[in-house]
Chain A
């Protein structure tokens, strides 16, 4: 039993997810002007790649995730996942973990994790097997019969991750999943995320506001501009696939993080309306 999806082994040059000229504009209403939230964005993710997105607050990071997941439609451009177009409907094989606690408070941890499998009519024996593997994998083995309200925020987020994992998604989208957690928990959860990424072979897109988290976890970091969000630069980290949070001690970690910060600082100040100070 493992959590590996049906995705092919990462092959160089192959494209798993592709965005071309994607933008999102919220149409204006009576007194409100139209809001250009995102784009245009071009991006290719290789199969099995770990990609992180950082950017100033309100730059449209979450909008990017929503359109990629099919939770929102694009205003222009196109998105393809495994060669098929995504627009406004969640494709099979995509899993999403949100920043907010999305565990179902009326279900036990086990039933939460089993939710998606039962939803697609998986035989109960298979559900049991997969759920118990995912629970142990996420360190939830002692809390199988607990309700979310009895767990800490970090544990509840593990439940949500496990609920996504059991469906063996080939693309996992995470929207600031550790945003509500304290710093130590974040680092540990980062390690788990890396382990899970290696184990499943899935393509991962992580949205975060923590630069160190992006640098530490990702193969590439996309730095977004202030709204409307576009990619200013895609920074390659060049970390080996086998890695964990101890790479923060690597001298290149600091260099990479400070390079991203330099890019981001100007944008963040611009987003806050201090355009003059930024220059």
Chain B
């Protein structure tokens, strides 16, 4: 690990230890927050009990659905828009405004349309994730250097082959950035939606535990989410960096 990486680890560990001490010394009341060590112990117990296996499966599979659908739709839409500048210009204001729209406001509508199943949560995750994929796909395709397209011409490649063998491979790291964001946004969308109203899922269980004043359970589930999201995000970040390193010219 590099010096910066070690320092970063030290900062994180320091923050956790500080929180632990603040609670153990009573500066922060236990009623508000329980020590991280107890969160971890509670989490181990919760996971071992298998009580939330269904919720965990539901949440993770909904997140996976949101990621998959946003990737398919996003890459396709991004490719089409990049190839049609006139249409793209019309949609340009939407790209810039999209993330200012409070997407959760559509949640009630989605429940009315789809009912109280998994669809509304997947939809919110999809809606949040898809634009990041579209924008990054367009960005990647925009960056393909002209000289590589000339090289494709010299190799007498068709438009289709050029797209498959030159444009998309070049754009891959940028699309990967879109993927990384899609993962984060899908988690945010699905869990946020579960939290507002739903009948199962980790977000729902956190809200339920809060309403029942079951702090150890609530904090263990919050910890679970944070650990999963942060470790997925960090590994995607590392992978992304490795891909991007090959682009440096």
Taking beta carbons and an 8 Å cutoff, which residues of A are in contact with B? Answer: 69-71, 89-90, 92, 94-96, 98, 100-102, 104-107, 115-116, 119, 147-149
B51 close to A (CB within 8 Å): no
8 closest Cβ contacts across the A-B interface? A100-B147, A106-B169, A102-B151, A102-B147, A96-B154, A149-B246, A149-B248, A98-B147
Q: List B105-130 residues whose CB lies under 8 Å from chain A.
A: none
| CB of A239 to closest CB in B, whole Å | 29
Are B154 and A106 closer than 8 Å at their CB atoms? Answer: no
Bound: A115/B169 CA distance, A? 13
A residues less than 8 Å from B37 (CB atoms): none
Give the nearest-CB partner of A119 in chain B: B155
Bound: A147/B157 CA distance, A? 23
Bound: A149/B243 CA distance, A? 11
Bound: A55/B229 CA distance, A? 59
| CB of B161 to closest CB in A, whole Å | 8
B residues less than 8 Å from A100 (CB atoms): 145-147
B153 close to A (CB within 8 Å): yes
Give the nearest-CB partner of A116 in chain B: B155
Give the nearest-CB partner of B166 in chain A: A104
Are B169 and A94 closer than 8 Å at their CB atoms? Answer: no
Q: List B206-248 residues whose CB lies under 8 Å from chain A.
A: 245-248
Give the nearest-CB partner of A101 in chain B: B249
Are A119 and B157 closer than 8 Å at their CB atoms? Answer: yes
Bound: A71/B157 CA distance, A? 12
B residues less than 8 Å from A107 (CB atoms): 169
Max count, chain B CB within 10 A of own CB: residue among A96, A106, A116: A106
Are B153 and A104 closer than 8 Å at their CB atoms? Answer: no
Are A106 and B246 closer than 8 Å at their CB atoms? Answer: yes
Bound: A90/B165 CA distance, A? 18
A residues less than 8 Å from B154 (CB atoms): 69, 71, 90, 94-96
Give the nearest-CB partner of B248 in chain A: A149
Max count, chain A CB within 10 A of own CB: residue among B145, B169, B246: B246
Bound: A117/B91 CA distance, A? 41
Bound: A102/B248 CA distance, A? 13
Are A149 and B169 closer than 8 Å at their CB atoms? Answer: no
Proximity string of chain B (135-176) to chain A, C-beta cutoff 8 Å, 1 when within and 0 when not:
000000000011110110111110001000110011010000
B150: which of A89, A98, A149 is its contact (CB, 8 Å)?
A98
Max count, chain B CB within 10 A of own CB: residue among A92, A105, A147: A105
Bound: A148/B170 CA distance, A? 13
B residues less than 8 Å from A105 (CB atoms): 170, 246-247, 249
